[in-house]
Amino acid sequence: MVIVMKEKTNNLISRPPVIVMMGHIDHGKSTLLDYVRKTNVTEKEEGGITQHISAYEAECEISGQKKKITFLDTPGHEAFCSIRERGARVADIAVLVVSAEDGVKPQTLEALKCINKDEMPFIVALNKIDKAGTNLDKIKQNLAENGILVEGWGGSVPIVPVSGKTGENVPELLEIIALQSDIEELKGDPSVPAEGFVIESNLNPKQGISATVIIKNGTLKKGMFAATSGAYVPIRAIENFKGVNVDEASFSSPVKIVGWSAMPAVGKQFKTFSSKEAAVAFAETADKKSAEEIQNVAPDGQIFLPLVVKADTSGSLEAVEHELQKLGNEKITVKIIGKGIGAITEKDIKTANIKKSLVLGFNVSADKSAEALVLRDNIEIKIFKIIYELVDFVKEKIKTETPVSKVEVMTGAAKILRAFSKNKDKQVLGGRVEEGEIKSGETVKIWRREAQIGEGKIKEVQIQKIKTGAAKTGEEFGMMVEAKIELVPGDILKVISFVKQ
C-alpha cells in the first residue's frame, strides 16, 4: 500500500522505492539481499536467522541507468510476525521470497497475509533455482493452490526465478522492482520537513538511545528536532546505513539518530520540527493516543508465570513479547512484570524478587551488580541468543509450574442382578458389566434410582465361579462387595478413578 503524506505541494519528484523482503525462515531472503548489496549478513546472525529489521540503500544499474532502492530485510521466523507487519506498513513494494525446493510454507502464507492486509503490490522471487531437481512449474502450481496467482498461471503477480547464491536473474528481479515502482508513481517533496517511520531502536551505554528510521517524505537536516510517540530528539548527527555521518538525508533513506529522550516505539511514525517545543508537543499528543491500547486480562483464579524480559533492541523485545503472549494454558498464563532494552541490571533483579519471577535475557548479559543480587536472592536468570530456544524453555517452565488437579473419571459400571448373601458389611452379589470393566480391589460409588446413596469396595470378582481379576463389558459375574449399605437388584456400581490434569 502506497503511503500518501498529508502535505500537498508542487515540489513533488520521483523517489526511490522502499522494498520489504518477506518469506519463510530458510528460503534465502538474506542470501538474495546479500548478493544485491555485496555484503554478508547471514554469517553474523545466530543460527543463520535474521532477527532484526535491517535497512539497506543500494544503487543498482537497471537498463543502463543507476537507480537507488531501499531494502528492508525482515525475519522469516514465525516469531517475528509483528515485525514483518511493521515492515509491510513502511514499505512500498514487497518481494515474497519462495524456495524453488520447498514451495509454500506456513510463514510464506503469513507473510502473504501481511501483504494483503495492506493491499501492497508484490513480486514473487522464486529462489534457489541453482539447486538440482527443482521443478518450477510444480512450485507455481503450489503457489496457485495457496491463492498466489502469478503471471502465466491465471494471475498478474510478477514472478522471477532467481538464485541468491549465483546471482542468476537478479538483474531481472531489480528491473521488475523498478518497473513496479514506476507503476506506483512514488513521489516525495524534498522541501518539507522529514517524516517517516521508526524501524529499530536500542540503548547503547556510551551513546544513549538510538533509533533507525526510514524517511518517507521530506528532508532531514542537522539542527532540526524529531519526535515520535513519547520521545523526541535534537538532531545533532545523522548516520546513514553505512555508518557514515551526513549533513542531511531525504526520502527512502534509512538513517540512524542518536540521543532520544526515551525509547522510540518501533513501527510508529516520526515527524521533524524546527523547534523543541513543537517536537515535545507532538510526542506527548502521539503518546496519549498510544496509551489507549487495550490489554488482555486473565480470568479470575488463573495463575501467572511472572517474567522479567530484557533484549538488545526494541525489535527483539517486541518479537519475544509476541511469542510469550501466545504461551500458557487454562490454568497458567505468562505475565511480563518488567521489560526493557539493554543489560540485566540490579533494578531488574529487584523487580523479579518481588514476585519471585524468572529473568529472561535475549542477546544481552547481566551486569556485575545484578549477578551479585542473583546469588543473594536466588533469582533464576536465563540468557538466549535464539528466540525459539527461549520460547521452548518457557514452555517447559509452564509445564512444571502448572498446578496438578485430580479429576474423577468413571472407568466401569455394573448393574446388580441378584443378591445372594450378606455377612455384616460383606455381600455376595451377581451382576452384569454395563460399561468399561470391574476389577477386584476397586472403590465403587453406589447409585439407586439415579441418586448416589453410598460407597463400597469390590473385594473379589468371579466369572462362572472361577476367581478372576476383572470382568468386562457385557459379562455377567459374581462379586463380593464391602459396603455399609445393603445392595439390592437394580443398583448400579460405578468405578471411579482419579486422573491428574
Q: Give the SS3 label for residue 172.
A: helix
CA distance 430 to 144: 67
Cα–Cα distance for residue pair 262/367, rounded to 1 Å: 21
Evaluate the CA torsion angle 53, 54, 59, 63 in order and state its sign.
negative
- pLDDT beyond 70 at 44: no
Can you tell me the mean pLDDT for 410-434? 92
Highest mean pLDDT among 280-289, 294-303, 335-344: 335-344
Q: Which amino acid would we find at residue 211? A: A
Task: Tell me the three state secondary structure of residue 202.
Answer: strand
Lowest mean pLDDT among 45-54, 222-231, 431-440: 45-54
Tell me the average pLDDT of the chain: 83
- CB contact at 8 A, 242 and 37: no
The candidate with the shortest Cα–Cα distance to 351, out of 339, 363, 366, is 339
Q: For residue 434, give every residue at least 6 positions away whose Cβ sits within 8 Å of its Cβ, in sequence order, or none.
A: 413, 414, 415, 473, 492
Res 384 pLDDT > 70: yes
Structural domains in the chain plus CATH codes? 13-187 (3.40.50.300), 195-290 (2.40.30.10), 303-401 (3.40.50.10050), 406-500 (2.40.30.10)
Cβ neighbour number for residue 482 with a 10 Å cutoff: 16
What does the pLDDT read at residue 104? 86
CA–CA–CA angle 21, 4, 264 (5° rounding): 65
Cell of 330: 487454562
Residue 199: predicted pLDDT: 84
Max mean pLDDT among 204-208, 407-411, 433-437 falls in 433-437
Nearest-angstrom CA–CA distance, 35 and 464? 82
Concatenated DSSP letters of 96-159: EEEETTT---HHHHHHHHHHHHTT--EEEEEE-TTSTT--HHHHHHHHHHTT--BBTTTB-B-E
pTM of full prediction above 0.75 = no
Determine the 3-state secondary structure of 295 from DSSP: coil
Whole-number Å distance between alpha carbons of 19 and 93 = 5
pLDDT attached to residue 295:
38
Q: Is the distance from CB of 17 to CB of 181 less than 8 angstroms?
A: yes
What percentage of the chain carries pLDDT values higher than 90? 33
pLDDT digits (tens, 9 = 90+) for 238-271: 998 888 899 999 988 889 999 998 888 877 889 9
Phi, psi of 26 (to 5 degrees): -125, 35
Q: Where are the beta strands (DSSP E) in 101-253?
A: 122-127, 159-161, 187-188, 195-204, 208-217, 219-221, 225-228, 231-234, 238-240, 245-246, 248-250
pLDDT at 277 over 90: yes
Q: Which of 110, 364, 314, 24 is nearest to 198 (CA)?
A: 314
